[in-house]
Amino acid sequence: MAQLTILAGGVGGARFVRGARVLAAAMDLDITVIANTGDDLWLTGLRVCPDLDSLMYSLGGANDTERGWGRAGESERVSAELTAYGVGWPWFTLGDLDLGTHIARTALLRDGLSLTEATERLAARWNLGVRLLPASDDEVETNVEVVDEDGEARLIHFEEWWVRHRGNIPTRRFVQQGLESAVAAPAALEAVASADVVLFAPSNPVVSIGTILTLPGMREALRDTAAPVVGVSPIIGGAAVRGMAELCLRTIGVEVSAAAVGLHYGPRPAGGLLDGWLVDSADPEALGPLHAAGMEARAVPLWMTSDESSAAIVADALSLAAEARTA
Ligand code: GDP
Ligand code: CA
């Protein structure tokens, strides 16, 4: 059985992993997902892990497909009570079913389980078809340095920046809080080391994949693994398909193009992370610079409109990985 390890954020990551899961039986794949934990936060006394939960709900078939996030059939009675008490963030709604997950997770953490162990316990309820791992057991949270109306710089949590302000506030930089005393989760590092193929989902390159890569030990594990490492572009035709990747890339000074994001991760032979980079058919001009930099690259359709279209993208990524291995 081939070990496939996928680095992923939440909603975009989940679409990609659902595609990988379609191929699992036919291609004899054992799939492990390393989820971004930089969006995690303590809210109303509970540990909330947005990307792990997006993956769990989507792979478990319990996600709200219309709204695009959270649980299907959700209600918000508890949130209304919290707001009445003036507790929590009124603009960050936690559904009742979703709160059940956060309470269960917090209970497990309070019992002394690591986030890796707690995630395994939560995932056991759902038939995910993949192993779901947090990128870190330590609390590393993405903060954003913004500038107030009075010109003062201050740090806010990434979820406040995105959900409350929609990124619509003068933004200086992203900062991962807690990195000094953190490491990547041992199980996540092992999943990279023992992989036959590593894929980067077309997740946000700054605050999803980028945050996973800041965790001490992760870059080294990716450089050392014998597996080919191939990424899929979240940028199609010079724009992010869904989400805020454009805003994030501009903030870190990376051009919003398929080639620029691939080169930002960098070619492995030159000390970067990628053996191959898949771009969309709309971006053939990206291939020249990528090849010149020493990366395998191919242009194929990258719109994840269904599990089947996502599966075709994963199959193309695996085929590029096979090419990279023999190159
Ligand atoms: P989040 O954590 O919920 O924000 O989700 P991710 O970080 O996993 O994914 C968000 C990114 O996925 C967006 O910035 C998009 O650029 C990318 N994305 C979303 N849908 C598609 C798609 O259909 N095709 C491709 N190539 N990228 C997509
Ligand atoms: Ca996220």
User: 218-231 pLDDT, tens per residue?
Assistant: 999 999 999 999 99
CA-to-CA distance for 255 and 19, rounded, in angstroms? Answer: 28
Tell me which amino acid residue 296 is.
E
Bridging pattern class, strands 131-134 and 29-35: parallel
Considering the domain architecture, whether residues 85 and 102 belong to the same structural domain is answered as yes
The two three-digit tokens of residue 100, written as one number: 């059940």
What atom in ligand 1 is closest to the CA of residue 207?
7
Considering the domain architecture, whether residues 157 and 84 belong to the same structural domain is answered as no
Considering the domain architecture, whether residues 80 and 97 belong to the same structural domain is answered as yes
SS3 assignment, position 16: helix
* φ/ψ (deg, to 5) at 320: -65, -40
Averaged over 252-271, what is the pLDDT? 97
Ligand 2 centroid to residue 50 C-alpha, Å: 6
The burial class, CB within 10 Å (0-12 / 13-18 / 19+), for 25 is: exposed
pLDDT attached to residue 45: 96
**Does position 132 have pLDDT exceeding 80, yes or no?**
yes
What atom in ligand 1 is closest to the CA of residue 209?
7
**Does position 234 have pLDDT exceeding 80, yes or no?**
yes
Nearest to 90 by CA among 103, 81, 99, 101: 81
**Does position 197 have pLDDT exceeding 80, yes or no?**
yes
CA-to-CA distance for 215 and 127, rounded, in angstroms? Answer: 29
Specify if 248 maps to a domain: no
Q: In the chain, how many domains are there? A: 2
Specify if 223 maps to a domain: yes
pLDDT attached to residue 243: 78
Domain that holds residue 268: 2-136+182-243+256-326
Considering the domain architecture, whether residues 108 and 175 belong to the same structural domain is answered as no
Ligand 2 centroid to residue 51 C-alpha, Å: 5
Considering the domain architecture, whether residues 219 and 283 belong to the same structural domain is answered as yes
**Does position 6 have pLDDT exceeding 80, yes or no?**
yes
CA-to-CA distance for 1 and 221, rounded, in angstroms? Answer: 21
- CATH number of the domain to which 8 belongs: 3.40.50.10680
pLDDT digits (tens, 9 = 90+) for 151-181: 999 999 999 999 999 999 999 999 999 999 9
Of the pLDDT bands very low, low, confident and very high (cuts 50, 70, 90), residue 252 is very high
Considering the domain architecture, whether residues 149 and 263 belong to the same structural domain is answered as no
- Residues having CB closer than 6 A to ligand 1 are 8-13, 51, 54, 201-204, 208, 232-234, 236, 240-243, 245, 302-304
Considering the domain architecture, whether residues 195 and 173 belong to the same structural domain is answered as no
What atom in ligand 1 is closest to the CA of residue 246?
14
Considering the domain architecture, whether residues 147 and 264 belong to the same structural domain is answered as no
CA-to-CA distance for 2 and 295, rounded, in angstroms? Answer: 23
| Largest CA-CA distance found in the chain, in angstroms, rounded | 62
Ligand 1 centroid to residue 305 C-alpha, Å: 12
CA-to-CA distance for 276 and 278, rounded, in angstroms? Answer: 7
The two three-digit tokens of residue 67, written as one number: 């709204």
pLDDT attached to residue 199: 98
pLDDT attached to residue 233: 98
**Does position 325 have pLDDT exceeding 80, yes or no?**
no
**Does position 326 have pLDDT exceeding 80, yes or no?**
no
Of the pLDDT bands very low, low, confident and very high (cuts 50, 70, 90), residue 128 is very high
pTM here is: 0.97
Considering the domain architecture, whether residues 131 and 193 belong to the same structural domain is answered as yes
Specify if 250 maps to a domain: no
Ligand nearest to the CA of 261: 1
* Percent of all residues in the chain with a pLDDT value above 90, rounded to a whole number: 95
pLDDT digits (tens, 9 = 90+) for 50-93: 999 999 999 999 999 998 889 999 999 999 999 999 999 999 98
Considering the domain architecture, whether residues 293 and 218 belong to the same structural domain is answered as yes
pLDDT attached to residue 68: 86
Residues with CB under 5 A from ligand 2 (ion): 9-10, 39, 51
